[in-house]
Each structure stands twice: as structure tokens, then as C-alpha cells.
Structure 1
Amino acid sequence: MILCSGESLIDMVPEGDTFRPLAGGAVYNTAIALGRLGTPTGYLWPISRDPFGELLLAPLTEAGVDTGLCPRSDRLTTLALVTLSDGDAVYSFYDEGSAGRMLSPDDIPTLPDRIEAIFAGGISLVPDPCGAAVETLIERNHDRLPVMIDPNIRPFFISDADAFRARLHRILPQADIVKLSTDDLEWLHPGLAPEDAARKVLELGPRIVLLTGGASGARALWSGETVSAPAIRTDVADTIGAGDTFNAGVLASLRRQGVLSKNGIAGITGEQIHAALTLGAQAAAITVSRPGANPPWAHEMPA
């Protein structure tokens, strides 16, 4: 089972003169995408007992995601209010004291033996105590479990850039796989070409750094020659959840190929990486072809 740990929240999306609540969050989206792809998946993040918490639980349950490690909380669900400015989405977060924000390192349980790998990232890495909690989860388990991290950097959410950079420099060396977009790399290493910036991250210690660039496809930097896979051409409705679904496709492929382990990733081949990038691209293409973060089910994937 792949354990996903990171934010779930409610996006309040404009709809006429009011707002429509939609379940979201980068790591939450990846957990649902993994479950829909038929991969045994668990989720570790506090779920509020408020009505929005129930709205978050329903898609997890439908996708077969194990929520047994999710603590239930009387604190409120994080809200992200989405407004439009000249057609661009602007987010206002209502997060102080929320169920997810207040996850602490003391809340991180001993992981059951059925956990095979950890996926973490998103804005949950930024604030404390939840950022410290995710860091603790990785620190305690990275020696025996493969870890994939997608920091999904959102500069508008980062109030202390130096503290966040320091956290990333602690946790990225503990990861086996790091996924970064070109925007992430520009924030981490301003002025460097994306591939040069990705190599800087690779030098920190991960086995594989995945570099995604939307329509330009995905590349994997590792100990061998760079592996590339093109994006799948499709009519784009929007790009919400594309990267989160790509992550799920990569992890699902690695597990199916039998290389989602510390030893498996250490001995991985270029062909196996290419297969993972391809499945990630195929899954992401379906997500962007329809509105919202709506990852594909296994039966929708190419044979």
C-alpha cells in the first residue's frame, strides 16, 4: 500500500453569485488518483467532523483509499476561496487552527507493515505544526521505505521562504524520487535552466528527479542517461490536478513493475523509468481533458 500524506481542503469555486465547494488538495488528489487506478492506497491526514470533512471522505471511500490512519478532528476543514482577477485564479486560504494545519509530529503513528512506500508534499510542507509532522513521517521511515516528494511550490502561500528552503534541504535528500515542475525549479534555483536546476536537486541525494513541463512532457534525471516521455495530446478543459495525477501514474507503474522498494529503485532501469513516465502522462492527459481534478479510473486507461 502506498501511503499519501498531505493536505486535503475545500476549494470554494465561483459559480454565478455564489461559491461551489469542491474537494481538493494536491496530495489528496494523488491519493484518489492512485485508488482509482487500482493501486492499494492509504491516506494520512486529519479529517474534520464538520460537513466539509464528510465531503472529503466520500471520494476517498469511493476510490477505495484506506483512511484508517486519518485522525478525526473537531477543528474545521481548511478552505481555499477562489476568486478571479482578469481571468486568473487568486486563492485566499482559511487555514489558521484548521484540522490539517494542526497535525503535529506527536500525531504521526508507527506505520503498519502493509505500507510499502510514502508520497508526500504540497502546501502541507510549508506551515507548522503540519509541515514538521510530514517531515517527521519522512525522517522516521525513509531508511526502510521509498519516499516520493512533490513540493508543489506555491510562492503566495510561503510567508518565510528561508525556513521553507531549509525544510526542503532537509527532506529532499531523504527522498528516493522528487517531482518538480519548471515553476518549482525557478523558485528553488532562480535563473538556472530547468534541467540544470533539476541536477542541483539530484546532487542532494534522490535517486530520481522528475521534471515536468506540461505540454513539453516529462524527463527523469538519474544515474543513467536522461529519460524522456512526451505529453499525450488531448483537448484541454483545464489543468487542475494534472501534476497530482501524473504522480499517481508514476507510482502505480513502479508498483506494477515490482520496483517500488528501496532495492528496486536502486536497481531501476531506463526502460522502467520510461514506462512510469508514460503511465503518468497517460493518466494526466485524461485528467486535463475534463474539468476539475477528476483523475481516471483504471478502466479508462489505455490498454
Structure 2
Amino acid sequence: MAQRPIAVLGECVADAFADTSADTFGETGRPRPGELALRVMPGGGPANTAVALARLGTTTRFLGRISTDPFGDLFRAHLTSSRVDLTGVVAAPEPSTMALATFDEQGQARYSFHAEATADWQWTDAELDAVHSSDASCLHTGSLALVREPGGERIEHLLARARAGATISIDPNVRPLLVDPRVYRSRLAHWCTMTDILRVSSDDLDLLMPGEAPERACDIWHLAGVRLVVITLGAHGALASLDGVRVRVPAPPAEVVDTIGAGDSFTAGLLHHLSLAGRLGGRLDGLTIGEVTRACAYAARVAALTCSTAGPNPPWAHELDGGPLSPAGGGR
């Protein structure tokens, strides 16, 4: 039986950061006085996840509103070159969303956003009805798409309909500089009633449930309806909880260039592995903690390879095939 596609719904973001490279400015290696040059890379949590899934070999359909401006051209080229299906994309007249990134000494990115009235959030019910297809085994979404209006509430309604035939996966990917974390907290309980897989980072956990232990957060989300919770812990790996049965998976060694897109790549690796195991398409029926362990180990390797390159640049399948953490190798 042919593998059913995974649909990813959400935003594309132009990730911009100051460029002082010699390739840009010649021998001086810096802009002239009064100038700031920006290097722009295609990003956005859902788009990053779609790219990573497609590069790993999963048939992936991106559902998004992509602007017709030059940034939108960049997004389309990036998604297409990564073999993402764009038949679910709306050509939007509004401008693209942009994030200006800076980095700390550990390579962690911090953003300022330019996102008012941009293309990604302007979904209409008619547009969502047109792009959604019932053939997807999984519908993944999250990040800003679920909390920016007018589209957020409409996407929630789509999730409620889509779960009749698809596994629902959500990554809140909290962005406190753009949306007050209280907005995420107020809606998370409702998301959990529709969600089969919830992936959050340790930073997300601190914002969603300040001071709460990861294990306690897992129990709360299980009670709300989520079967599989995965909390990624950066260099400390990940905690996965399936119906309250928990496992910790270490992070493989990585030479970190930056962490942009690492969490999105982890989510992609997790969904890709579960898809190959035949566990997507419903409520994770038959899923075992051993399968979760192997899926998270594979996902951690995908994330580590993403950290070893600049920007949201996830690995292709051939970069993982045959390794001890690849699906073919059986994981550990």
C-alpha cells in the first residue's frame, strides 16, 4: 500500500540576519557606514517541518498562504527544491512575514518579528476547505498559525474535522515577542482535545507551565486527551510519554553552528518514523513505547544534523540511511 501523505499547515517566515561576510562585502568584510545588509533564508516552523519531512522521504503537502512578493518566490523555490507538494498553497496578495534573528554565544536564535497583516494569518473558511484533502495520514500544525487571527480559530475548526481520518500533531512553538504566552495557555487545553501528538520544547514548557516539571506537564496533557507527548530538552535529549509510560532519549553529539529549525526537524523525524511504522492515520492505535523510543532516537539525530549547519537546513534521507538510528537500521 502506498504511503499516505502528511499535510503540514502553517506559516512561511523570511529569517533575516545581519550579513558581514567577505563574500558579500569583499575584502573589508563589513558594510559601508550607514548600511546594514541582511541575509535572508526561508524559514517558519511549519515550513521547516514540511521541508524536513520531504527531504527524509515522506510525501509531504504544505498548506499555506504564500505571498506573491519576492520573499514568497524564495519560499516556493525552497519548498519545491525540497520536494514538498505545493498544491495546497494559496497565492496571497498580502506581504510575507519576516523575522530578524540574532544569536547568543551558544548559537541560540532570538527573533524580532514583522508580522502585522501578513499573508500567513488571513485564512478564510473557503480557502481552508479548498486546500484540505482527506487523503493525508497526519495533519501537523502549530506555531503562530494557531494563535494569529483571523486564521487561528478557523484552523482549529479544520483540525476538529480532519481528525476523523488523520492523526493530529501540534507543536505550539511559543513566540512570546509576537504573541503573549497567555494566549497559548488559554487555547492549549482545547488543542489537546483534538491532538494525538504534542511536541514542545523546554522553552515552550517554561512559558506554557512556568515551574512545572516535565513529567507533571505530560500527565496534565494526557488527561486533556493527548496520547503522545514529547518534550525536547536541547542537548539533554528528549522526554517522551505515551499514555503516561515514559522514556528519555539522549541527544547525539553535535557540533552546533546554530539551533534554527532543530525542533522542527525533530518533529519531522518523529512523524516520518511513525509513518514508516504505519502508526499514522488514526489515534496511534497499536503504538508501543519501544516504537516511540526508536522514533525519538531517529528524530534526535535529524535535529542534531540540522544544528550542524547554518539556518533551517535539515538533512536529506541519504545523510541518515544505514546509520544506527535510521528506520532501516531499527533504532535503539
Question: What band does the TM-score fall into relative to the shorter chain?
Answer: over 0.9
In the other structure, the counterpart of 1:246 is: 266
Shift of 1:209: 0.5
Out of 292, 295, 298, which is 2:311 matched to?
292
Change (3 A) 1:241 1:85: closer
Q: Which range moves more in the overlay, 78-87 or 7-16?
A: 78-87
Superimposed CA distance per residue, residues 211-249 of structure 1 (whole angstroms, 9 cap, x where no aligned partner): 110111112112253122211112111111110000000
Q: Which range moves more in the overlay, 116-125 or 224-233?
A: 224-233
For structure 2, which runs of at least 5 residues remain unmatched after alignment? 21-35, 323-332
Rounded to whole Å, the distance in 2 between the matches of 1:275 and 1:88 is: 27
Rounded to whole Å, the distance in 2 between the matches of 1:204 and 1:142 is: 16
In the other structure, the counterpart of 2:19 is: 15
Shift of 1:85: 8.4
Whether 1:165 aligns to 2:169 is no
Paired residue secondary structure (1:203) = helix
Out of 112, 134, 142, which is 1:121 matched to?
142
Q: Superposed, which structure 2 residues align to 1:52-201 within 5 Å?
A: 52-83=71-102, 90-109=110-129, 111-159=132-180, 161-201=181-221
Q: Which of the pair has more CA radius of gyration?
A: 2
Letter in 2 for 1:177: I
For structure 1, which runs of at least 5 residues remain unmatched after alignment? none
Superimposed CA distance per residue, residues 169-228 of structure 1 (whole angstroms, 9 cap, x where no aligned partner): 211221001011122112222121122122212221111101110111112112253122
Shift of 1:260: 1.1
In the other structure, the counterpart of 2:296 is: 277
Paired residue secondary structure (2:7) = strand
Superimposed CA distance per residue, residues 74-105 of structure 1 (whole angstroms, 9 cap, x where no aligned partner): 11111112356899755332222211121233
Change (3 A) 1:286 1:124: same
Q: Which range moves more in the overlay, 92-101 or 66-75?
A: 92-101
Rounded to whole Å, the distance in 2 between the matches of 1:53 and 1:281 is: 30
Shift of 1:24: 0.5
Rounded to whole Å, the distance in 1 between the matches of 2:213 and 2:104 is: 30
Rounded to whole Å, the distance in 2 between the matches of 1:220 and 1:35 is: 24
The share of aligned pairs that are identical, in percent, is 38
Paired residue secondary structure (1:280) = helix
Scaled by the length of structure 2, the TM-score of the pair is 0.86
Shift of 1:266: 2.5
Q: Superposed, which structure 2 residues align to 1:216-227 within 5 Å?
A: 216-223=236-243, 225-227=245-247
Q: Which range moves more in the overlay, 207-216 or 161-170?
A: 161-170
Out of 8, 20, 34, which is 1:4 matched to?
8
Change (3 A) 1:2 1:22: same
Whether 1:31 aligns to 2:50 is yes
Q: Which range moves more in the overlay, 170-179 or 184-193?
A: 184-193
Scaled by the length of structure 1, the TM-score of the pair is 0.93
Rounded to whole Å, the distance in 1 between the matches of 2:102 and 2:277 is: 42
Superimposed CA distance per residue, residues 17-46 of structure 1 (whole angstroms, 9 cap, x where no aligned partner): 311111100110000000000100000010
Rounded to whole Å, the distance in 2 between the matches of 1:213 and 1:89 is: 16
Rounded to whole Å, the distance in 2 between the matches of 1:163 and 1:238 is: 28
Contact 2:238 2:249 in 1 (8 A): yes
Rounded to whole Å, the distance in 2 between the matches of 1:129 and 1:66 is: 25
In the other structure, the counterpart of 1:42 is: 61
Contact 1:207 1:266 in 2 (8 A): no
Contact 1:149 1:175 in 2 (8 A): yes
Change (3 A) 1:88 1:146: closer
Paired residue secondary structure (2:121) = coil
Q: Which range moves more in the overlay, 4-13 or 29-38?
A: 4-13
Rounded to whole Å, the distance in 1 between the matches of 2:285 and 2:315 is: 29
Rounded to whole Å, the distance in 1 between the matches of 2:69 and 2:9 is: 20
Q: What is the aligned length?
A: 301
Change (3 A) 1:203 1:248: same
Change (3 A) 1:101 1:230: same
